[in-house]
């Protein structure tokens, strides 16, 4: 773990903290081979890769209604209620994101312009199932699509060696409103959704988190379909002043670290006593962690940094562009005003990342590896397209005719200009 003053970070330290390269190049050729194989051989390629990577050969990939019913029976009733509560909050949050389906305004007398919002017809969601089941990701991917009005929502998630999917994930996908669920993981699942096979009809867009192979596949098929954004290991940046509780900060670092050995947790604090207290607290909490080996491996890449001021801490945060940003300071709303790049922000001492991961209603599918500089987290706009509209009367066209004709002729497009002149001669 890096423990330093912010202004004493070496160029190598900064490279480690700020670059966070996903490493797609290392797997790109292998993933490209899988994508091309699925494109050429369809379901048979899917069967081979599922047997190779998941240890089971499947003749049919689609989850049946009976399997979904069995999943509900297998999940504890209280856990189902938790999923339903989370689903309600996610639906309510994304419903607030809705914009007008159609709006128009008058540009000038006789000239009207506007926009029509149209949902995508089909979207695929990848729900990870490697080290653990992630039913929350099914909720996060499917619900906003359904709020947006997507008619066909496809979910792909890897099977276990018995050829089954976690009952929790199945129940969550069904609660969220998935129309089709497939036992399919990895790059082959992305290829199937993007290109289509005998049993899986292609979709228009693919969303959802995944490992490096899934991310590489999403990047490769972009063009055949749209994707949400590249995603790497999960990360949190915690900005804390002397008002923060070191137990809370250490707990949130460890919570992030338990995702994956490549996960990143960074604390930037203006309080030297707090920095020392966090460093002391971490080992005792690690001892209680169930995924201790993963946590310890992850924390080797993490950092506790001491900043001279809150402004310096926030400037570093904007350069870091974290997936999750916690503001554990006296006045988090004031600090929020200076935030320019973050996937999701958590204000105050009682708002851990885990709350947003599951139940506040905000979406946890977020840009990582600095992509928060240019991408938003998953939201309702990801599932719609916007069509511009214009309408003109004869008088309205006449008021703009001179400008249109001059600009068209300046570009050498005389037929464009003539399409206006011919109307003006009437």
256 is in an annotated binding site: yes
Coil, helix or strand at residue 104: strand
188 is in an annotated binding site: yes
Question: Which residues partner with 347 through β-bridges?
Answer: 327
Q: Strands 205-207 and 226-227: what pairing? A: parallel
Decide if 63 contacts 183 (C-beta within 8 A). Answer: yes
Q: Pseudo-torsion of CA 379, 169, 175, 206, nearest 10°?
A: 30
Using CB atoms within 10 Å of the CB of residue 296, give its burial: 0 to 12 exposed, 13 to 18 middle, 19+ buried: middle
- For residue 7, give the nearest of 311, 276, 249 by alpha carbon: 311
324 is in an annotated binding site: yes
180 is in an annotated binding site: no
- Active-site option among 180, 281, 323, 326: 323
- For residue 205, give the nearest of 124, 145, 147 by alpha carbon: 124
The two tokens of residue 372 are 């928060």
Beta carbons within 10 angstroms of residue 372's beta carbon: 25
323 classed as catalytic? yes
326 is in an annotated binding site: no
The half-sphere exposure of 163 on its side-chain side, counting CA atoms within 13 A, is 12
234 is in an annotated binding site: yes
390 is in an annotated binding site: no
416 is in an annotated binding site: yes
- Active-site option among 235, 258, 281, 324: 324
Per the annotation, binding residues are 126, 188, 211, 234, 256, 259, 324, 357, 411, 416
Task: Give the residue numbers annotated as catalytic, written as ranges.
Answer: 323-324
The annotated binding site for substrate is made up of: 234, 256, 259, 324, 357, 411, 416
Provide the annotated binding site for Zn(2+).
Answer: 256, 259, 357, 416
């Amino acid at each position: 773990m890096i423990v330093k003053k912010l202004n004493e970070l070496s160029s190598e330290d900064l490279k480690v903290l700020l670059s966070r390269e996903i490493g797609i190049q290392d797997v790109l050729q292998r993933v490209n081979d899988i994508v091309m194989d699925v494109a050429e051989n369809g379901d048979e390629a899917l069967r081979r890769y599922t047997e190779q990577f998941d240890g089971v050969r499947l003749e049919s990939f689609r989850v049946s209604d009976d399997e979904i019913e069995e999943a509900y029976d297998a999940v504890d009733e209280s856990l189902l209620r938790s999923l339903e509560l989370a689903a309600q909050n996610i639906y309510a949050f994304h419903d607030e994101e809705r914009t007008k389906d159609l709006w128009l305004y008058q540009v000038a007398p006789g000239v009207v312009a506007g926009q029509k919002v149209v949902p995508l017809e089909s979207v695929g969601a990848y729900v990870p199932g490697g080290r653990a089941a992630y039913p929350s990701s099914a909720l996060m991917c499917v619900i906003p699509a359904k709020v947006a009005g997507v008619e066909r929502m496809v979910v792909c998630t890897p099977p276990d060696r018995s050829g089954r999917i976690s009952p929790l994930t199945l129940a969550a996908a069904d609660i969220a409103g998935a129309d089709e669920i497939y036992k399919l993981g990895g790059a082959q699942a992305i290829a199937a959704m993007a290109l289509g096979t005998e049993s899986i009809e292609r979709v228009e867009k693919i969303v959802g988190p995944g490992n490096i192979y899934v991310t590489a596949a999403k990047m490769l098929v972009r063009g055949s379909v749209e994707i949400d954004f590249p995603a790497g290991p999960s990360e949190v940046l915690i900005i804390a002043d002397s008002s923060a509780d070191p137990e809370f900060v250490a707990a949130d670092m460890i919570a992030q670290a338990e995702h994956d050995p490549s996960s990143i947790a960074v604390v930037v604090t203006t309080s030297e006593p707090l920095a020392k207290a966090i460093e002391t607290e971490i080992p005792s909490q690690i001892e209680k962690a169930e995924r201790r080996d993963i946590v310890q491996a992850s924390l080797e890449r993490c950092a506790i940094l001491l900043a001279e001021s809150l402004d310096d801490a926030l400037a570093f945060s904007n350069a870091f562009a974290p997936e999750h940003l916690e503001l554990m300071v006296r006045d988090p709303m004031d600090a929020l005003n200076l935030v320019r790049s973050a996937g999701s922000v958590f204000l105050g001492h009682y708002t851990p990342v885990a709350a947003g991961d599951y139940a506040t209603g905000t979406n946890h599918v977020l840009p990582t590896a600095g992509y928060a500089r240019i991408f938003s987290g998953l939201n309702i706009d990801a599932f719609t397209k916007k069509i511009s509209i214009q309408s003109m009367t004869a008088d309205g066209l006449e008021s703009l005719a001179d400008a249109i004709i001059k600009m068209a002729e300046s570009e050498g497009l005389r037929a464009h200009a003539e399409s206006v002149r011919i109307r003006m001669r009437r």
